[in-house]
Each structure stands twice: as C-alpha cells, then as structure tokens.
C-alpha cells in the first residue's frame, strides 16, 4: 500500500526554504544570548541540519544529507550570518522566530518521512511518522538546549503533535496514489496553518502536574 514516494520538486524547493528558516531562528536565539558571529553560524547549522542528521544516523542512511549535499551547509551558515544584518530591521523578533520555526518544522517533517521511505519502502507507517517528527523537532531542541532554554517542544503550544499530524497527512497521499507535488503543497499549508493557529489561540496538550502535596 505504501509505495516509495519520489522526491518531487515542491518538497525540494521547500527544503531550501526550511533550512534557511531554521538557521534564522537559531541566529535570532543566538543574538538574544549575545553570541559571537562564529557561534551564530554554528548554531544555525546545528538547528537547520541537526534533526536530519539524527534521523540519518538512526535509520543508517549514509552519507548524511549535508555531507552528500554541502549546499545545505552553506545555505544554513549564510542564512544565519545574513540574519545578523537583517535582525535590526525586524521589530517583532518573537513573531518572526515562531513563524520561521513553524515553516522549518513542517517542511522537515515531510522531508523526514520522504527520506525514511527512500531508506526502506517497507518501513511501517509509525516508523516513517516518527522519522518525520525527529527531523522536524530535533533541530529546534538542540538549538534551545545550546541556548540554555527549555525546548519549545516541552513548553509551547502543540509542537511535536503538529509534526505527527503532518506526517500522517503527508504519508496518506502515497497510499491513495495522489499527485505528489499537489499533496506536498497541501501538507505544507495544513501544517503551517495548524501550528500558527495553535500559537494564536494557545492550543495545548493536557499537562501532567504532580507535587509533593499530592503524595
């Protein structure tokens, strides 16, 4: 049922947008921590490519994407450095940060699902979706940890769950034999809209709260 998906041009184009977007979020986070330019560049590359690297290692997918395509590494570094010059023109950095982070997560989730199927077309759907979630979320977690922040994954509105929904929606196309590029575009719009609405209306997962008084 789950046929190997081809790498369509829409996803390929969006991947470049996502790498730049995630690198820019890292640069903004680095600026709030007064990092030097080298730190900004390094953090940008880790945030943009870290999720895909972890996914590739877990799936045994070699060479790593940024090793096979150094253009991604150059793009991440360039976007991070460019943000240093552009940040002063952005008056609402927090809004820009959240929008760019949402774009990166949506596209990386779809790309992660795509790569998982290229590694092994017989992988169970749940493994494919988890691979997409790791790709979409791990880079942001690494960025926040290196900035000494509690990761957005653990404190923000519908973070990892957005990746799960996107992965399921995107993967469905290949079971139904629908147009790849059209479905990629629809998945991107759905995921980005879902995440931005969650931020706007503060949709959250139920929280587990336990204190010593409850023992």
Average pLDDT over residues 193-207: 85
Distance CA 147, CA 183 (A): 36
What's residue 201's pLDDT?
Answer: 87
pLDDT band at 184 (very low <50, low <70, confident <90, very high): confident
Q: Of 61, 50, 194, 52, which is closest to residue 118 (Cα–Cα)?
A: 61
DSSP-derived letter for residue 148 is T
Asked if 59 and 135 count as a contact pair (C-beta separation under 8 A), the reply is no
Decide if pLDDT at 4 tops 50. no
Model pLDDT for residues 27-77, shown as the tens digit of each residue: 989 999 999 999 999 999 999 999 999 999 999 999 998 999 899 999 999
| Centroid of chain to Cα 61 | 18
Asked if 132 and 113 count as a contact pair (C-beta separation under 8 A), the reply is yes
Decide if pLDDT at 198 tops 90. no
What's residue 90's pLDDT?
Answer: 60
Average pLDDT over residues 189-200: 90
Q: What are phi and psi of 60, to 5 degrees?
A: 70, 35
Q: Of 20, 15, 12, 6, which is closest to residue 107 (Cα–Cα)?
A: 15
Q: Rounded to two decimals, what is the model's pTM? A: 0.86
Distance CA 50, CA 208 (A): 29
Three-state secondary structure readout of 3-56 = CCCCCCHHHHHHHHHHHHHHHHHHHHHHHHCCCCHHHHHHHHHHHHHHHHHHHH
Lowest-confidence range among 51-55, 71-75, 176-180, 211-215? 211-215
What's residue 33's pLDDT?
Answer: 92
Distance CA 21, CA 43 (A): 13
């Amino acid at each position: 049922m789950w046929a190997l998906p081809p790498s369509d041009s829409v996803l390929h184009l969006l991947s470049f947008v996502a790498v730049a977007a995630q690198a820019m979020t890292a640069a903004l986070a680095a600026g709030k921590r007064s990092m030097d330019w080298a730190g900004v560049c390094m953090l940008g590359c880790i945030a943009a490519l870290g999720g895909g690297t972890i996914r590739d290692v877990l799936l045994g997918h070699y060479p790593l994407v940024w090793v096979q395509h150094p253009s991604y590494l150059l793009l991440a570094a360039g976007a991070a450095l460019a943000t240093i010059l552009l940040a002063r023109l952005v008056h609402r950095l927090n809004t820009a940060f959240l929008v760019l982070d949402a774009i990166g997560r949506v596209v990386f989730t779809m790309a992660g699902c795509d790569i998982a199927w290229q590694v092994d077309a017989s992988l169970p759907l749940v493994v494919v979706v988890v691979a997409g979630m790791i790709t979409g979320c791990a880079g942001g977690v690494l960025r926040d940890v290196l900035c000494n922040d509690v990761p957005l994954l653990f404190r923000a509105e519908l973070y990892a769950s957005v990746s799960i929904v996107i992965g399921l929606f995107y993967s469905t196309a290949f079971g139904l034999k629908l147009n790849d590029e059209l479905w990629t575009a629809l998945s991107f719009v759905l995921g980005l809209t879902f995440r931005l609405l969650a931020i706007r209306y503060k949709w959250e997962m139920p929280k587990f709260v336990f204190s010593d008084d409850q023992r």
